[in-house]
Amino acid sequence: MTNNNPPPELMPCPFCSYDARIITYEYGQDIPRGFSVECTGCFAETAHSPTLEEAVQVWNTRATLKPARLTDDEIKKLIVPEEGYGAAHRKGWNACIEFLRKEGVI
């Protein structure tokens, strides 16, 4: 299979400035797939969107709001699975925002 479309341009993460990547979700044979964009540094992720274009737009719009620059050590602290961003991530986007505000990242 060939794909002539260039990959969409993703802005860096607004929280840690790392590169982002596209996640494709396959829900099953009769269920439409979805897309999100995820940070490769702190794993901040957009909500699932029905189209790739929408997921990219959501990420790039949000990413323009407030770019931050964190050190690698600060990012490691944030993503501790039991207590850091990783734990908040499993509870959903609002928990992530709350966690990052508490940590003074945003």
Task: Give the shortest CB-28-to-Zn ion separation in angstroms.
Answer: 30
Interface with Zn ion: number of residues (CB under 5 A)? 8
The residue range among 24-32, 41-49, 58-66, 93-101 that interacts with Zn ion, by the rule CB under 5 A, is 41-49
Opening angle at CA 9, ends 97 and 61, nearest 5: 35
Please pick, from the candidates 10, 35, 38, 39, the single residue that binds Zn ion as defined by CB under 5 A: 39
The residue range among 7-15, 28-36, 85-93, 96-104 that interacts with Zn ion, by the rule CB under 5 A, is 7-15
The tokens for 50 are: 């029905």
Residue the block writes with tokens 């189209």: 51
**14 touching Zn ion, by CB under 5 A:** no
**13 touching Zn ion, by CB under 5 A:** yes
**15 touching Zn ion, by CB under 5 A:** yes
CA distances for 87 relative to 6, 8, 9, 48, 103, angstroms: 34, 29, 29, 19, 14
Please pick, from the candidates 34, 36, 38, 41, the single residue that binds Zn ion as defined by CB under 5 A: 41
The tokens for 66 are: 């407030």
Answer for the pair 16, 39: CB distance below 8 angstroms, yes or no: yes
**Region of residue 76 (left: phi > 0; alpha: psi -120 to 50; beta: else):** alpha
Where does this chain bind Zn ion (CB under 5 A)? 13, 15-16, 18, 39, 41-42, 44
